[in-house]
């Protein structure tokens, strides 16, 4: 059951990123761009979670997952602070 949930989380992040990107292309609102980028990076983090827990359980990817997730949150934080109108 766990691998299915990990995959669904990754697909949800990827779908959210695509929808936000489509909204950005339509309206050119910069906050949508930063949100789309954040969700795309979070999808990568969820991909690393799948690698860590399902495909390569003997290798610890926790530090890499943490760094990627922090980068995603910093991207969103940057967008919220510096792109406000």
Torsion on CA atoms 81, 43, 15, 3, rounded to nearest 10: -140
Q: What is the pLDDT of residue 85?
A: 61
Phi, psi of 20 (to 5 degrees): -65, -40
Where b means 16+ CB within 10 Å and e means fewer, 43-67 reads: bbbbbbbbbbeeeeeeeebeeebee
Predicted TM-score (pTM) of this structure: 0.90
Torsion on CA atoms 46, 70, 72, 51, rounded to nearest 10: -20
Show pLDDT as tens, one digit a residue, over the chain (85 residues): 888 999 999 999 999 999 999 999 999 999 999 999 999 999 999 999 999 999 998 999 999 999 999 999 999 999 999 876 6
């Amino acid at each position: 059951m766990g691998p299915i949930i990990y995959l669904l989380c990754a697909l949800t992040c990827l779908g959210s990123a695509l929808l936000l990107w489509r909204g950005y292309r339509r309206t050119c609102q910069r906050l949508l761009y930063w949100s789309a980028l954040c969700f795309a990076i979070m999808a990568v983090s969820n991909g690393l979670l799948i690698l860590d827990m399902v495909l390569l359980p003997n290798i610890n990817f926790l530090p890499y997952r943490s760094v990627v997730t922090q980068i995603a949150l910093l991207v969103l934080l940057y967008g919220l602070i510096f792109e406000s109108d």
